[in-house]
Structure 1
Amino acid sequence: MRNQIEFKVYGNYALFTDPITKIGGEKFSYQVPTYQALKGIAESIYWKPTIIWIIDDVRIMKPIQTESKGIRPIEYSGGNSLAYYTYLKDVCYQVKAHFEFNLNREDLAYDRNEHKHHNIARRAINIGGRRDIFLGTRECQAYVEPCIFGEGAGAYDNVPEVDFGAMVHGISYPDETGRNEREIRLWRAKMKHGIIHFDRPEDCPWVRKAKGSGTKEFHAGNMQSADELYEELFEGRGIE
């Protein structure tokens, strides 16, 4: 597929939170990564508002293991509470993804150069991404590197099928859909011979509406030059 990238992402822990478990202040991870989590990783590798990353497949390379930890999360009212978070342990995934242009951003039509973005994304994978990589949550540091999807032995290559039931797929934002509302997507996840093939966002069977906000357009009137921003940040501080 055009504009496709393949990479391996791995780390000591991952937490792809099942939202049902957050009601009581606890967190329990899904057994496999969500579409939105992998899309966030692709965006941490390389992203511009001109493009939208589409996650095609993920391959589970290591056995699914969990580990619970006692956590003291900060409460909004101040102080700390006590909770148990259940993480995935020692994870590794191969990911196949591609990007498409965001046709709802006509203000960025001039930047639709597929070869430029594809080459930058591939170089970004080689250096481990442009931003820090996380597996679900901030405390789960991860690392990325290039790979050939399907290469090497996976933990579930000989397992015909595993059904994980209904899971959160991701969130559709107004700047990607053109609709002035956010949408929560759910789908039925199935792993076949260690590979999960994701539905495209528009093909998810269950969608729930949420409050949305408008899209911010980029034009000369609302963008600052580097010199103007520098002066605004350091004015009066004696910095030249």
Structure 2
Amino acid sequence: MSANSVCLQVWGDYACFTRPEMKVERVSYDVMTPSAARGVLEAIFWKPQILWRITQIDVLKPIRWASVRRNEVANVISADNVKTAMKRGQGTLGLYVEEDRQQRAALLLREVAYRIHARFELTAHAGPDDTPAKYAAIFRRRAEKGQCFNQPYLGCREFSAAFAWADTAEPEPVPIPETRDLGWMLYDLEYGGTEPTPCFFRAQLDNGTLRIPAWDSEEIAR
């Protein structure tokens, strides 16, 4: 592993990496997405001086599904109402769950476990004392101690994730022996314009390993 590389194992009872093309019912991708993996790492350690890039995701448990029905609210608080309340210093921003509740089906993953391979890049905020080895050591120390800024989750906040540093000195769990074409998968959001732009890539599971192309690769569809 290079000085700016990390490896982390995450697992949980349920996960839902929602497909954006499903407008009403939540349907998960078969495998954790790069953006979800980045969110796990940022929950453990993030600074303006670094930028996480996911390079590989290993699937450590068979892909299993569960169908459930969940209570959700049908609407969100209006952004215009929020702006008006900020200007006037008062306003009605409440959202009453009892009046806006609806049941929706969700197709979730169950009993999941992944090994995330990632590296980080130093940004323009980095100073002369900021080195890759420094931040890699901080991340490893926090992961080994179970420390995080907020609880990592597997796609949806209600599906919390347990995590541990993947110690290369111990026998590592072997990825599942499965190869399949996962189709187009969400890579991440690009924040270059007025609105975030979703980016996709063609995901291929090769003997339980999902290799993630570089952010500036031609394989990324923007």
TM-score range, shorter chain: 0.7 to 0.9
- 2:144 is matched with which residue? 126
Change (3 A) 1:204 1:126: farther
> Which amino acid in structure 1 is aligned with residue 41 of structure 2?
A
CA offset at residue 148 of structure 1?
4.1
CA distance in 2, matches of 1:4, 1:120: 12
Deviation at 1:108, TM superposition (A): 4.3
Structure with the bigger RCO (C-alpha within 8 Å, sep 6+) is 2
- How high is the TM-score relative to the length of structure 2? 0.81
Find the partner of 1:137 among 152, 156, 173: 156
Say whether residues 1:155 and 2:154 are aligned partners: no
1:195 maps to which of 209, 213, 217? 209
Q: Residue 189 of structure 2: which of 165, 171, 188 is its match?
A: 171
**Equivalence for 1:57:** 56
Secondary structure of the structure 2 residue equivalent to 1:20? coil
Matching of residue 74 in structure 1 with residue 88 in structure 2: no
Between structures 1 and 2, the one with greater helix share:
1
Instruction: String of CA shifts for 1:124-160, please: whole Å, max 9, x gaps.
Output: 111224121100010101110011468223322xx3x
Contact 2:175–2:209 (Cα < 8 Å) also in 1: no
Unmatched runs of 5 consecutive residues or more in structure 2: 77-98
Deviation track 1:6-27 (CA, whole Å, cap 9, x = no partner) reads 1110000000000111x1x210
SS in 2 for 1:19: coil
Q: Does 1:101 align with 2:122?
A: yes
Trace 1:205-216 onto structure 2 (pairs within 5 A). 205-208=219-222
In the alignment, the residues of structure 2 paired with residue 200 and residue 61 of structure 1 have an alpha-carbon distance, to the nearest angstrom, of 23
How far residue 30 of structure 1 moved from its aligned partner, in angstroms, is: 0.3
Mapped partners of 2:181, 2:147: distance in 1: 32
- Are the equivalent residues in 2 in contact too, given 1:44–1:129 (CA < 8 A)? no
Corresponding residue number in structure 2 for 1:6? 7
Offset of 1:191 from its aligned partner? 1.1
Q: Aligned pair in 2 of structure 1 residues 206, 154: CA closer, same or farther (>3 Å)? A: closer
Quick one: structure 1 residues 190 and 129, their matched pair in 2 at CA, closer, same or farther if it must change by over 3 Å?
Answer: farther
Task: Answer yes or no: is 1:92 the counterpart of 2:113.
Answer: yes
Normalised to the residue count of structure 1, the TM-score between the two structures is: 0.75
Distance, in Å, in 2 between the alignment partners of 1:181 and 1:12 is: 34
AA paired with 1:139? E
Letter in 1 for 2:208: G
Letter in 1 for 2:64: Q
Q: Deviations over 1:66-97 (max 9, x none)?
A: 10111110122752111101110000001111
The 1-side partners of 2:181 and 2:47 are apart by: 34
1:173 maps to amino acid: Y
Q: Aligned-pair distance for 1:121? A: 0.5
Give the count of matched residue pairs: 196
Separation in structure 1 between the aligned mates of residue 218 and residue 129 of structure 2, nearest angstrom: 29
For the residues of structure 1 that align with 2:49 and 2:195, how far apart are their CA atoms? 20
CA separation in 1, counterparts of 2:122 and 2:208?
30
Q: Percent same amino acid at aligned positions?
A: 28
Gaps (5+ residues) in structure 1?
209-240
| Aligned-partner residue type, residue 109 of structure 2 | L
Alpha-carbon distance between aligned partners in 2 of 1:118 and 1:109, rounded to the nearest angstrom? 16
